[in-house]
Amino acid sequence: MSSRRLGGIATATSLALALTACGASDAGTSGPAGNPVSGGTLTYAINTDADCLDPHQSPADVAGFFARPILDSLVALDAQGKVLPWLAKAWTVSPDGKTYTFQLRDGVTFSNGEPFDAAAVKANFDHVVNPKTQSKLAAGTISTYTGARVVDAHTVEIGLSRPSSAFLPAVATAYLGIEAPSTLTQDPKALCSKIVGTGPFVSTEGYTPQKGIDYTRRADYKWPAGTAKHQGPAYLDGLKIQVVTENSSRLGALTSGQVDAIASVPPVNVAQLKANPGFTIQTAQAPGGNYSYYPNTQSGPFTDLRVRQAFRSGIDWDTIVSKLYFGVFQPAKGPLAPSTVAYDKSVEPSYAYDAAKANQLLDQAGWTGRDAAGYRTKDGTRLTLVHPFLKAYVREQRDVLADQLQAAAKQLGIEIKNENVDYGGFLKLSGRARATTWATSAGSERRRTRCGLCSAVRTSRPRRPGSARTWAATAMTASTRTSTTR
């Protein structure tokens, strides 16, 4: 994708915060790990609901999270970015980089008894790119896919139209997780509530919107990823993931013992919980894209590079993020999190706050007038940006972040209109002609939208380095996952 047509404002680094309630440990740290014990059920409360359980269809982070206990992938990716075996025990790449040949593990079965084989792999890749699936992310991550050929029961060839260094990392994600072939012929809506895979857990009842999903251990599981330290069935008998979107309710459920752990600990409560020896906070910065804003570079004010540069430089992203998140989230300095493999620290100075430079750029762009409300004008037209976002899927106070961005932009004389739309409305905007390009997390799928400023969540899936280098204003490294345990 041409960098000239894609730009972004990274707002927060991906951070994972989890809180657990524990028997006794040093404040804010984990105690010595004991020997694993089989049995029991873990109840985990998360802050975001999903639109669909099937990651072949849904682009949501939480969809991949819900699906992962059920679905395995062909390969795995470790913390250093190394690709390791999983359902595929080995693979080779043709000299031209356009054909991947996977050797599959023997003896793997889906939880419904179907065998895992080369035909199943082909069925899954074909399902992802089938227009009837209406994939909103997975298909974009393999946009170069031309087809699969079954060589024999345990050998499959995947063809690409051109070499892609992002192919194997994409295959490692839950969005290309392998589902039972017989289920892929169902109505896509049925897969939104129940999927079948080769993973260590099964979900008989499936996913219930606004409630969550329950899993039970698969006793015969014995083909973990190359990253796994444990080789047999899961230690837990069961896992319950509950959707509790309200911060205080989620935290209250933990402190009252209703749940064992929670995701996305409210930043305002982090210091207090760290000081309490009954809880452990686990924090990890997720690799890949930061929480970013992507501008309309084909229509409206952002077609002018100077306006884009002014918006990036003229917003004090560091201060906004630091104050809103009490120092828990690290302000981002580019489109990718520092924990991303091959992160380039040299891009960070490009995101320095410089209000004087921003105002100078806006003057040069011809936005020199001011109306009665203090907004900049040119030829009698106010400098206005429209920002549609999906409030129903908001987490980590990103609606508040949008409001603070709106206030900061006003200091530059830029009006931002934050418009709350539903998912259907957002997709409708994506089909309009007046517009720009924004990218999925994988950086390969493009959509048209007439918004002046589009927000997009980028958390755990790597994007091609440099794909958003034209400009990007930065706010927070926020696909942070914070969880807490008792």
Does the pTM surpass 0.85? The reply is: no
Return the HEC string of the chain.
Answer: CCHHHCECEEEECCEEEEEEECCCCCCCCCCCCCCCCCCCEEEEEECCCCCCCCCCCCCCHHHHHHHCCCCCCCEEECCCCCEEECCEEEEEECCCCCEEEEEECCCCECCCCCECCHHHHHHHHHHHHCHHHCCCCHHHHCCCEEEEEEEECCEEEEEECCCCCCHHHHHCCHHHCCECHHHHHCCHHHHCCCCCECCCEECCCCEECCCEEEEEECCCCCCCCCCCCCCCCCCCCEEEEEECCCHHHHHHHHHCCCCCEEECCCHHHHHHHHCCCCEEEEEEECCCECEEEEECCCCCHHHCHHHHHHHHHHCCHHHHHHHHCCCCCCECCCCECCCCCCCCHHHHHHHCCCHHHHHHHHHHCCCCEECCCCCEEECCEECEEEEEECHHHCCCCHHHHHHHHHHHHHHHCCEEEEEECCHHHHHHHHCCCCCEEEECCCCCCEEEECCCEEEECCCCCCCCCCCCECCCCCCCCCCCEEEEEC
What is the model's pLDDT at position 20? 57
Tokens 């390009």 identify what position? 437
Q: What is the pLDDT of residue 387?
A: 87
Contact indicator for 247, 19 with CB cutoff of 8 Å: no
For residue 323, what pLDDT is reported?
A: 94
Cα 333 from Cα 331, distance rounded (Å): 7
Task: Tell me the pLDDT of the chain (486 aa) as tens digits.
Answer: 333 223 344 444 445 556 555 433 333 344 455 688 899 999 999 998 998 999 999 999 899 999 999 999 999 999 888 999 999 999 999 999 999 999 999 999 999 999 999 999 999 999 999 999 999 999 999 999 999 999 999 999 999 999 999 999 999 999 999 999 999 999 999 999 999 999 999 999 999 999 999 999 999 999 999 999 999 999 999 999 999 999 999 999 999 999 999 998 889 999 988 898 889 998 888 778 888 888 888 888 999 999 999 999 999 999 999 999 999 988 988 888 888 878 899 999 988 999 999 999 999 999 999 999 999 999 999 999 988 877 766 778 888 999 999 999 999 999 999 888 776 676 666 544 333 322 222 222 222 223 344 332 222 233 322 222 223 333 334 334 445 555
- The pLDDT assigned to 428 comes to 65
Structure tokens at 66: 């819900």
The pLDDT of residue 25 is 33
Reference 274, options 261, 265, 287; nearest CA is 265
